[in-house]
Amino acid sequence: MKTAVSTSFTRRSVVAGLAVAATSTAVLAADNAQAQAKQTTPEKSLYERLGGVFAIAAVVDHFSDAVVKNPIVGQKSKNPQLRKWHTKNLGRLPGLKFMRTLWVCDVSGGPFKFVATKPGTTPLGLEEAHRNLRISPTEFDEVAAELGRTLDHFKVPKPEKAEVLAAFAAHKDEVTAGYVKQG
């Protein structure tokens, strides 16, 4: 017995078949585009990963206040220049917080640019701004430790914390340029 197979196509069945094929192709194309976007989306900048200017400003505010109170580099520092700055120049602290915020925003890839108030030989001019404070390498390290404690206070993830501390450490020679070893 022969079975007859209908080979007639109606206009409606052809359109429906094309619609199914087009839909599956569109879904595949969307999946492929999404996969490509994941591969080509650039990593967010450190600035973005830190939360932008407002989050950075909050960290700088806390950090700056902690440095003032720090027994090694703050108001009770054995370094007379640091001690004087943290007791007699506190009226300048709001401006310093602003400049520190700009600096972190700049070095972390943000849209704000830091310009040194006392231009130096480096693009950021940190050596001139710090020269008269005679900051020793040990004092610099204590400020870095205070920054680390502040980042922990704000629960900054380890990768971002490491990047911030590395950016800070990269300027150690500039910041300690005015230090003259005693004895």
In tens digits, what is the pLDDT along the chain, a chain of 183 residues? 555 544 454 545 444 444 444 444 444 455 555 656 556 667 999 999 999 999 999 999 999 999 999 999 999 999 999 999 999 999 999 999 999 999 999 999 999 999 888 777 766 678 888 889 999 999 999 999 999 999 999 999 999 999 999 999 999 998 999 998 865
First to last CA, the chain: 114
Is the pTM of the predicted complex or chain greater than 0.85? no
The pLDDT, as a whole number, for residue 23 is 47
Residue spans of the domains in the chain: they are 46-176
Contact call for residues 56 and 104 (beta carbons, < 8 A): yes
Query: The domain 46-176 belongs to what CATH superfamily?
Result: Globins (1.10.490.10)
The pLDDT, as a whole number, for residue 29 is 52
Residues near 133 by beta carbon (within 8 Å), at least 6 away in sequence: 79, 81, 82, 85, 178
Contact call for residues 132 and 179 (beta carbons, < 8 A): no
The pLDDT, as a whole number, for residue 60 is 98
Write 77-81 long-range contacts (CB < 8 A, 24+): 77/139, 79/133, 79/134, 79/135, 79/136, 79/139, 81/132, 81/133, 81/134
Residues near 17 by beta carbon (within 8 Å), at least 6 away in sequence: none
Residue whose entry in the numeric block shows the structure tokens 């040194």: 116
